[in-house]
Structure formats: C-alpha cells, structure tokens
A and B are shown apart, each in its own frame.
Chain A
Amino acid sequence: MRPRLGVRLGRLELKNPVVTASGTFGFGREYAGLVDLTRLGAVTVKSLTLAPRTGNPPPRLAETPAGMLNAIGLENPGVDWFLAEGLPFLRQRGVPVIASIAGETPAECAALASRLDRAPGLVALEVNLSCPNVARGGLAFGGDPAAAAETTRAVRRATALPLIAKLSAQVTDIVAVARAVLEAGAEILSLINTLPGMAVDVHRRRPVLGNVFGGLSGPAIRPVAVRAVWQVYAALSCPIIGMGGIMTALDALEFVLAGARAVAVGTAHFVNPRAADEILDGIESFLVEQGVADVNDLVGAAHGPQEK
C-alpha cells in the first residue's frame, strides 16, 4: 500500500509535504519546462512587494563552503504583475500557490495581504519577516518579538487566508519570536530564512557582494535550521514548514523528525531543478522501506514518545 503523504498545517491542506522555498523557484514558470509543477505540495513564489522592486546592485551571489550567499534585495515585478500574470499561469496548471509578501512597514504588509486575500489559486500567505538583504523591514522586524507580532497582526486583519510567518534563526530566542507571531494570528511557521553572512574578495580587498552582506543558504546552514525547528516544536507544537539546506529526502526527513509537518526545498533547485520532485519520491520510498503508513507519524518523532 502506498503511504499517506497528505499533511495538514492548521487550515492549510497539502497533498504532500514538499513545497518550494520562496526566492529559489521564481514564479514557477522559469522551471515549467523542466519540472512537473503539479506534483509539488505547493509552490511558494518569490516575495512580492506593493511596487515593483529593482533589488540590490550586483554582484549578488557568492559561493561559500557547501553553501551560497545571495543579496538579491527582494527584486520582484510587484503584486499587480503577480495578480495579472504570475498567479494565473500557475492557477491554469492547477498548482497550489503560496504567496510570499514583504513590506517595509506593517501597513504595507497589510496592504499586500488585502490585495491578495481573494486571489483565486492561493492556498496561503507567507509573510517574510526575515529577509536579511533589505535595510528596512525584513530582519528589522523579524528579530524583535513585538515588532514581528505587530506586522503579523496587521496582516492577519487583512486576510482570511491561512497565514504563515517566515522567521530568522538569527535571534537570541527563536521560541519567543515564534510564540509572539502565533499569538498575533500566524497559524504556521516557516523555519528558517537564510542567515546573514558575508565574504571578502582577498584579491580585490573588498566585499564580494554589492550589498556587502547576504543571506547564507544551502547545506551549510542545515544544522542551524534543524535546531530551530526542534526548539520551536518542543516549546509550541505548532505547524512548521522546515527549510534550510535540504538537498535530499533524508535531509527533509531530519526536519520532519525534528517537528516539521512540511518541508521547503530551496537552494537545491540551483543544483538540480528537479530536487523537490526527487525529494518527494525519496520520502515515499523511505516510508515504504520503513513500513510507515503515514508521513504524519514521523512528525516530531525524534523528540520521543512523551513529546508527541
């Protein structure tokens, strides 16, 4: 018998636990020729802002040991383009879509949420409280529980969609931020965003990135991400989408066992455009091999029976 792969995160139901991480899969269309978009639990699109954003000056990328730094700076064509073109493209193909939003103020995030609230095809809204590459917004309000809660509350009032808050692990107490955004109306947490980092070009004696700092992603950050999922699950038992350097099905299962009900594949797409697909296959094979009937039976299982 095939194992059950469907998961429920609060009000959000996914046919399987594998989604794409915002910013690593564009708007899906970029990969449409290479990947069967309809197989994934959902596609999380690149963070949207109210007005189109040009992003940071190049260079925007640097490779690091088992990872990479990016400083894109939330470049995106804006929410109006998304509603007119980006979303219909995915909707016509039957792809469940999670819209990621980013604003510089709580009011801007709320305005984005209300623009997207009734858009057909959206299954959830993810508020990006933790982009490390913009001067205002992003980490500025993702790091402080009160500020993160204020933004979440503003978005909550503006939409009836299932609400995901994406947090950074670059905080003193991630459980405190998680608790604050859940109390403010978030139903699901995405853990974690990229970690702030930088690289210096020794020959030029200058920072590699045009923006100096960038967000570190890839396998290098996976242990940090698994730790964050573990801590938040242990304290709050809330629905979590785990992410950070997932390259294989076994990596994904680490997150599930630590407490994630779904996982997001990000940087792996740059190495293998079909990574999310293959990870989904690998999770299914693992369940079959291990005689596990339902992926939900593994969620948080590494905490031991008393935590379940």
Chain B
Amino acid sequence: MSGVLMVEAVVLNAEKVAPDHYRLALHAPEVARAARPGQFVMVRCGFSWDPLLRRPFSVAGVDREAGTVTLLIRVAGRGTALLAGAAPGQALNLLGPLGRGFTLPAGGEFVVVIGGGMGLAPLLFLVRELLARGCRVRVLAGARSRAYLFLPEPAPGCEVLVATEDGSAGRPGPVTVLLPSVSPEVRRYYACGPREMLRAVAAEMDRRGLPGEVCLEERMACGVGACRGCVCRVRRGGNVAYAAVCAEGPVFPAGEVCWE
C-alpha cells in the first residue's frame, strides 16, 4: 500500500478510438511518475452515489515529463459512459497506482507480448518500457475486427503481428493463431485479454516451457486488498488459495493461475 496516491486528475481529452472505446488522457503528474506497466488506477465516475464504486483501468501509457496518464475505456455501463463523456478541464478523482505490475527483464531480452481486445491497454505501456530497456519485442495483437485493434506506435525493435476474428486485418481468427510465430529464442511472454484467451495462451506456452506473466481483470470494490471482493484462484506451494487481483495482482505468474 505504500506509494498509493489519491489525486484530482484533470481531463485533457477523451478521444473516441473505436465504437464504444475511448482514450482518456489525464494530467496526473505524481501518478504518471509512480506508475509501472501492469498497474492500474481506480477512477470515480462522478460526484453522486450512483453509480457508486470506482472503476478500475490499467494504465495504458504515461508521459512522465508532461505528467500525463492515458487510460483506455470501453463503455460497458453508466459509469464508463460518464467517463467517456468527460469534458477537457474536468477533474476526476484517481486512486493509484495500484497493484503489482509486470516483472521487467534487466536488459535486452527477446520477449513476446500477447494481447486481445482491451487487454492491449496495459501492454501498450509495457511495450514502451521494454523497448526503453533494449528488449526486442514481438507483439501479437488480436481483436474482433480492424476497428478494435489497439496497436503500439511503430518503433525500432518492435514487431507487430495481427489477427482479427472477422479477418478484416492480419490473420483471421483469435490471437492464438499467431502463437506458432513465437520463436525458440524468446525468453518470456506477457499476456492480457479475455480469460479464455489467457487460458489458451498459458496452456500453449506451458507446453513449450516458456515462462510468462498474465494480467487479470475482475470486478473490484476497494482496489487495495481490504474487501477481498476481486479474488481469483491461484496455486502456491501445492495449495490452492484465493488471491486478491487488486493487491496481489493484477499481474500473476502464468503458472500460478488456476484456469478451470
């Protein structure tokens, strides 16, 4: 819990990036400085008690010099609709950075980053940090169609392969059709996306003996491990236990998660 901030972030803009999807840029310098890839923030949706709870969002990017934090928001209900409609200059109460982020390699490893749909959000931030560390990054990005693809900015050392379920961009099919392109020189993988996708990715990578981390999503209330509302089943030292996704995750070693 050390280093968690509660700040009024100022909305810089809310840009529609796909049907029902918005990129929210916020001015929150302390959060931008402190956030690590895989961590998230919890945002209040307004000033009333309805909707009541904060909404959790992965940090999709930071600009530490400009003091900005970028979030990717899918409008799924009233809370996210309020955030998507936030006007520039409006203040949003932000709690974060929260949770345990991705473990970054010390230096220039060859890694693969696998994301489906909104699962690309934390990975966009991760890819930038990996490249800054001199890693060679292969991104496998999946979405239902071209309009929903959230891709990292082109950069040297970063190669992006795409799959869409309707075949409108890249290989047709789920992102898992790209898994055969993971070459033997890859040292580790990072994944985020729908649970079924993560389960398939983890199973395939386990077969290859490739270690990796997955970023999970769950409904949350407190965001700090107090309410025990967002648990997932994990295997630790031969025992199965519930871990709080907010505080012990959202990033877990892939081998720890019980997928069944």
Report which A residues bind B (CB closer than 8 A).
23-26, 29-34, 46, 54-55, 58-63, 65-68, 70, 72, 75, 218-219, 247, 267, 269-274
**B36 on the A face (CB < 8 A):** no
In the complex, which residues of chain A have a beta carbon less than 8 angstroms from the beta carbon of B52?
Answer: 63, 66-68, 218-219, 267, 270-271
Minimum-distance CB pairs A-B, first 5? A26-B226, A30-B226, A33-B1, A61-B229, A66-B50
In the complex, which residues of chain B have a beta carbon less than 8 angstroms from the beta carbon of A26?
Answer: 222, 224-228
In the complex, which residues of chain B have a beta carbon less than 8 angstroms from the beta carbon of A34?
Answer: 1, 4, 6, 224
In the complex, which residues of chain A have a beta carbon less than 8 angstroms from the beta carbon of B232?
Answer: 58
**B247 on the A face (CB < 8 A):** yes
Contact B6 A273 (CB under 8 A): yes
**B220 on the A face (CB < 8 A):** yes
6 more contacts with CB within 8 A, not counting A34-B1, A59-B219, are A25-B226, A26-B224, A26-B227, A58-B232, A219-B50, A270-B52
Q: Could you write out 12 A-B pairs with CB less than 8 Å apart?
A: A30-B222, A58-B231, A63-B79, A63-B219, A65-B50, A72-B228, A247-B49, A270-B54, A270-B227, A273-B95, A273-B224, A274-B6
Name the residue in A24, A25, A30 with the highest tally of chain B Cβ atoms < 10 Å from its Cβ: A30
Known contacts A70-B227, A271-B52; A61 and B242 CB within 8 A of each other = no
In the complex, which residues of chain B have a beta carbon less than 8 angstroms from the beta carbon of A55?
Answer: 228, 231, 242
Contact with A along B195-236 (1 / 0, CB 8 A): 000000000000000000000001111111111111110000
In the complex, which residues of chain A have a beta carbon less than 8 angstroms from the beta carbon of B4?
Answer: 33-34
Report the separation of the CA atoms of residues A210 and B150 in the bound assembly, to the nearest whole angstrom: 32
Contact A30 B224 (CB under 8 A): yes
Report the separation of the CA atoms of residues A272 and B223 in the bound assembly, to the nearest whole angstrom: 11
Smallest Cβ-Cβ distance to A73: which chain B residue: B228
Smallest Cβ-Cβ distance to B44: which chain A residue: A271
Known contacts A54-B241, A55-B228, A75-B231; A270 and B219 CB within 8 A of each other = no
Name the residue in A24, A58, A66 with the highest tally of chain B Cβ atoms < 10 Å from its Cβ: A58
Known contacts A33-B1, A267-B52; A60 and B229 CB within 8 A of each other = yes
Known contacts A58-B218, A271-B44, A273-B95; A24 and B51 CB within 8 A of each other = no
- From DSSP, what is the main secondary structure of chain A's interface residues? loop
Contact A270 B242 (CB under 8 A): no
Known contacts A63-B53, A270-B54, A270-B222; A23 and B227 CB within 8 A of each other = yes
Report the separation of the CA atoms of residues A171 and B212 in the bound assembly, to the nearest whole angstrom: 51
Contact B218 A31 (CB under 8 A): no
In the complex, which residues of chain A have a beta carbon less than 8 angstroms from the beta carbon of B224?
Answer: 26, 30-31, 34, 273
Smallest Cβ-Cβ distance to A76: which chain B residue: B228
Contact B241 A72 (CB under 8 A): no
In the complex, which residues of chain B have a beta carbon less than 8 angstroms from the beta carbon of A23?
Answer: 227
Report the separation of the CA atoms of residues A218 and B260 in the bound assembly, to the nearest whole angstrom: 33
In the complex, which residues of chain A have a beta carbon less than 8 angstroms from the beta carbon of B49?
Answer: 66, 218-219, 247, 271
Would you give the shortest CB distance from A43 to chain B, in whole angstroms?
11
Contact A271 B218 (CB under 8 A): no
Contact with A along B232-250 (1 / 0, CB 8 A): 1000000001100001000
In the complex, which residues of chain B have a beta carbon less than 8 angstroms from the beta carbon of A54?
Answer: 241-242
**B89 on the A face (CB < 8 A):** no
**B107 on the A face (CB < 8 A):** no
Would you give the shortest CB distance from B252 to chain A, in whole angstroms?
14
